[in-house]
Amino acid sequence: MAEIIRQKETALRVVETLQLKGYTAFFAGGCVRDELLGREPKDYDVATDALPDEVEKLFRKTLPIGKAFGVIAVIDGNESVEVATFRKEVGTRDGRHPETVVFSAAEEDAKRRDFTINGMFFDPVKNRLHDFIGGKHDLEKGVIKAIGDPRERFKEDHLRMLRAVRFAYTLEFALDKETEAAIKEMAARIKNISAERIENELTRILTESRKPGDALRCLYNTGLLEHILPDLIPMIGQEQPPQFHPEGDVFEHTVLMLNLMAEEKRDACYKPRELAYTVLLHDVGKPPTAAFGTGTDGEPRIRFDGHAHVSAGMAEEILTALKLPNREKKNIVAAIRGHMRFMDVQNMRASKLRTLIGAETFDLEMELHRLDCLGSHRMLDNYDYIRSYQEEMADEPILPEPWIRGHDLISMGLKEGRLIGQILKEAYEAQMENRFEHREALLEWIKANYA
């Protein structure tokens, strides 16, 4: 909160300086929208009729972060404010960058922006809103509407189609009918956008939406999903055993879990992006593994044998294509690969249960399991069992320091090799299961059986 207040104060000083020198200068874009909605802006941008060279002369410290497009960063202490010259963009060469930029007046600048709610200006000195494109009206109606012809806006930057969905579901607005129709018509063009930009928008949809599951359904209905995550399409209509999944097919199960994820934010040892993609992809391997077989009750039903392993492999390929950081990708894949283990926790040996709880990804796996249950049969007995076990173990480390090390075994005369690893594993399991009172007793057992 304090940081955004400081940035607003810096942006206000920038506007005042420009206006004192005779230039037009306003707050622009998202900060105007958020302030009208009573939300805290993420940052403050300034738009002006001052040319980039003139902006650089006016302020002591600047950075030409996009000077060719009229964007200069003004640095004031630890704060940075982007100052953009009003411009008109002509043509597009790659679905992202304009062919030509012409510096213009405020009204023309508003008309080249993406959506009406993002095209307003506010003069913080005169406390006056400048709305050339009906943004305030659409803000009050709760509508995401492209400025002018939506097809032209999406030709200029194909990523705007994903941004439309993000704004609709982070603000809980509706897509304007003509804007939505243009997305459906042009959805395939999203494939021309870089993986990094797609991942950024997709991540924000999944982590910032009020109902990310509904947003996922919108991505499907607009045709975008089949071009950014085609492996998810077979989940739609993939039946599941109703006794375990009364909610419906695999896609509906995932939609429900994503919505539940957003309802209750938890402090844990994982990133929101990690949880979002773990939920999104945990059952992506069900369609390719679906087959009729026999359930534990002896009755025939659909089975998905090995789907956790297949899902993990598919998730790794998808996340690699989206260029997620390797550490996060590793955590997500590990959580997906192990997510079916939780059905056996009440029958696990103590050593195996403690290893599960002590895993680096345990918090992520536990939250996936909780959401998986709530998004299907709603039985949390295994979840509660683990929490109860953790409480019982509160006074000792889940994964204690091993009593026995390799050098202990070598000193007994055992030779290095596979046997050493096997003995160390058995010794550590015995230690965690409290089969021996102390290290010396465990050493005696090893001598008697192996030395």
**Whether the predicted pLDDT of 92 surpasses 70:** no
**Helix (H) or strand (E) run with residue 292 in it:** strand 291-294
**Whether the predicted pLDDT of 266 surpasses 80:** no
Instruction: Provide mean pLDDT across the span 63-68.
Output: 92
Amino acid identity at 197: R
Q: What is the dihedral of CA 261, 262, 266, 271, to 10 degrees?
A: 80
> Max alpha carbon distance in the chain (Å)?
92
Q: Checking DSSP bridges between strand 143-144 and strand 128-130, what pairing results, if any?
A: unpaired
- Residues 158-172 pLDDT 10s: 999 999 999 999 999
Contact 16, 28 (CB under 8 A): no
Higher pLDDT, residue 345 or 415? 345
Among the listed residues 53, 152, 49, the one whose alpha carbon sits nearest the alpha carbon of residue 104: 49
Q: Residue 27 forms beta bridges with which residues?
A: 46, 122
Instruction: Provide mean pLDDT across the span 238-248.
Output: 92
Confidence band (pLDDT; 50, 70, 90) for 91?
A: low
Instruction: Provide mean pLDDT across the span 233-257.
Output: 95
d(CA 357, CA 400): 12
Taking all residues of the chain, what is their mean pLDDT, rounded to a whole number?
A: 93
d(CA 203, CA 268): 18
Q: How many residues in total does the chain contain?
A: 451
Find where tokens 């030509």 sit: 100
Q: Retrieve residue 259's tokens.
A: 């919505």
DSSP for residue 51 = -
pTM over 0.85: yes
DSSP for residue 285 = T
The pLDDT assigned to 267 comes to 72
d(CA 104, CA 31): 22
**Whether the predicted pLDDT of 157 surpasses 90:** yes
SS (H, E, C) 137-187: HHHHHCEECECCCHHHHHHHCCCHHHHHHHHHHHCCCEECHHHHHHHHHHH
Among the listed residues 407, 448, 416, the one whose alpha carbon sits nearest the alpha carbon of residue 430: 448
Which SS3 state, helix, strand or coil, does residue 70 take? coil
Q: Which residue segments constitute the domains of the chain, with CATH numbers given?
A: 1-141 (3.30.460.10), 147-226 (1.10.110.30), 229-294+301-399 (1.10.3210), 406-449 (no CATH)
d(CA 389, CA 168): 43
Instruction: Provide mean pLDDT across the span 257-266.
Output: 90
